[in-house]
Amino acid sequence: MAARLKLTDVSLHFGGISVLQNVSLEVEPGAVFGLVGPNGAGKTSLFNCISGHYRPSSGSIRIDDVETLAVHSSRLAKVAGLARTFQHPALRLEASVLENVLLGAHSHLPGGPVSWALRLPPTMRREREARAEARDLLERFGLAWAADIPADELSHGLHKGVELVRAMMSHPRLLLLDEPAAGLSHAEVESFIASVRTMRADFDLTIVIVEHHMGLISALTDRVVVLDHGAKLMEGTAAEAQSDPRVVEAYLGKEVADGDAA
């Protein structure tokens, strides 16, 4: 079941530097939500707070009824159904695509290190099921042909696709996509957009995207929040954000924005 994400007055400070200032937002179950803003706006820092990599200085982050600040980041996948991708995919390059995808199943596989080391029958059965599921997901996302190929033989764009499939192997209810268009060609961005649309149609999950590529944001999101200097500047649709003078000023600077308006 898709998760609801709710942030209330989230602030983050590093020493005397204020990175986030009382950011509040709510993402409805099943929505695709965008976090946008100029460089240094605090988007990635907020993402890292949601995923548990940073601990906010104050505020609340809830996934359904789970207060994530009370849960170690390593357990958020199992406890709250959270998964994320990274701007630079963290794949095991020497391993095959299938082996990389299987790593995403660790949060819901039964047993522990001992049962896996002993190769007990229930463990072996679950491993076969996981392999079948991984191949099915690769097929859905057009990557079945690469299942047995070492990851280091694939392009950066395909690495992004493999990481997306790996995230789906954890059966997420909330999926965080960190700058998925970074380093991709126009054709690869279009392919990624198609993959996310497939996910939305086939799986019951909520998606939050941090991204600079406004074409991708416009194509996929229901709503966006624009951050500037760590604070929430506005919330609305992607079209509303792109036409908001405050957003134009934040991206281009006041003098440039005023000159364009003239």
Summarised one tens digit per residue, pLDDT across range 126-175 is: 888 889 999 999 999 899 999 999 999 999 889 999 999 999 998 999 99
- Is residue 88 a part of any domain in this protein? no
- Is residue 120 a part of any domain in this protein? yes
Range of the domain at 17: 1-81+172-262
Contact between 166 and 198 under an 8 Å Cβ cutoff? The reply is no
Are residues 56 and 121 both part of a single domain?
Answer: no
- Is residue 238 a part of any domain in this protein? yes
- Is residue 186 a part of any domain in this protein? yes
Last residue of a domain, one of 147, 170, 193: 170
Percent share of the chain, pLDDT over 70:
89
Residue 88 has pLDDT above 90, yes or no: no
User: For 179, phi and psi rounded to 5 degrees?
Assistant: 45, 60
Percent share of the chain, pLDDT over 90:
59
Residue 113 has pLDDT above 60, yes or no: no
Full-model pTM: 0.88
Last residue of a domain, one of 170, 204, 237: 170
- Is residue 40 a part of any domain in this protein? yes
pLDDT at 168: 93
CB burial string 164-174: b at 16+ within 10 A, e below: bbbbbbbbbbb
Are residues 2 and 37 both part of a single domain?
Answer: yes
Residue corresponding to tokens 């440039």: 256
Question: What residues are paired with 62 via a beta bridge?
Answer: 6, 67
- Is residue 86 a part of any domain in this protein? no
Are residues 75 and 179 both part of a single domain?
Answer: yes
Mean pLDDT of the residues in the chain: 88
- Is residue 87 a part of any domain in this protein? no
The count of structural domains within the chain is 2
Residue 59 has pLDDT above 70, yes or no: yes
Residue 239 has pLDDT above 60, yes or no: yes
pLDDT at 261: 41
Are residues 158 and 201 both part of a single domain?
Answer: no
The arithmetic mean of pLDDT across residues 184-198, rounded, is 90
Residue 110 has pLDDT above 70, yes or no: no
